[in-house]
């Protein structure tokens, strides 16, 4: 069974456009092929899905770790959480033109993600349904290695922390001062 995790965030603005798209898709999807878990916040739940107004953060991270796909609103927190758990998220940014947010920052952030291949940005219902159909059919794969997809600085720090400790301990301040005096003389 394909596990798809959805989070529309916790903003007080409703995001019924996304939950409606998901409801229509799930209604036409063969029963028993998908487990759709939805954190819907103040938005309408998705009929037939495992709906939660709010999930504890640890539980959401665990779901991301096990998920075949994550469909998210365009907030940076959820996107980075999904990426940290090894998923390339499918992002549907909230649009202030639909009264889903107060400004266009999610649209701008989604454009940034798209330009750097950090997420798959969804433009419309047909795009979302097509990608979810491909996921259920096993033809779309959204799992990524969270370390290799990390920025270079994160990869460098990870490599340093994974390296064995140095053979010689760091000298004490007294030893360092003596070495410096000797070198300066």
**Which range is least confidently modeled, 11-20, 38-47, 122-131?**
11-20
Question: Would you say residue 120 has pLDDT above 80?
Answer: yes
Question: Would you say residue 4 has pLDDT above 80?
Answer: yes
- List domains and CATH numbers for the chain: 2-145 (3.40.50.2000)
* pLDDT (tens digit per residue) in 71-80: 998 888 888 8
Residue 66 pLDDT grade (very low, low, confident, very high; cuts 50, 70, 90): very high
Q: Check: CB of residue 110 under 8 Å from CB of residue 122.
A: no
Q: Please report the beta strands in the chain, taking only residues with DSSP state E, as ranges in sequence order.
A: 2-7, 34-39, 50-52, 69-73, 90-92, 120-121
pTM (two decimals): 0.75
Segment holding 175, helix H or strand E = helix 173-184
d(C-alpha 72, C-alpha 38), whole Å: 10
């Amino acid at each position: 069974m394909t596990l798809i995790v959805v989070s529309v965030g916790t903003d007080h603005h409703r995001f019924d456009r996304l939950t409606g798209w998901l409801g229509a898709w799930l209604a036409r999807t063969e029963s028993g092929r998908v487990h759709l878990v939805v954190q819907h916040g103040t938005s309408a739940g998705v009929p037939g899905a495992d709906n939660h107004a709010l999930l504890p953060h640890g539980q959401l991270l665990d779901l991301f770790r096990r998920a075949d796909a994550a469909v998210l609103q365009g907030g940076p927190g959820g996107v980075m959480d999904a990426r940290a758990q090894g998923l390339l998220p499918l992002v549907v940014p909230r649009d202030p033109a639909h009264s889903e947010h107060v400004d266009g920052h999610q649209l701008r952030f989604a454009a940034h993600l798209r330009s750097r291949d950090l997420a798959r940005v969804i433009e419309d219902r047909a795009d979302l349904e097509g990608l979810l159909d491909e996921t259920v059919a096993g033809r779309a794969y959204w799992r990524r290695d969270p370390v290799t997809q990390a920025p270079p600085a994160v990869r460098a720090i990870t490599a340093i922390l994974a390296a064995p400790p140095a053979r010689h301990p760091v000298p004490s301040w007294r030893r360092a001062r003596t070495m410096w005096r000797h070198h300066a003389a």
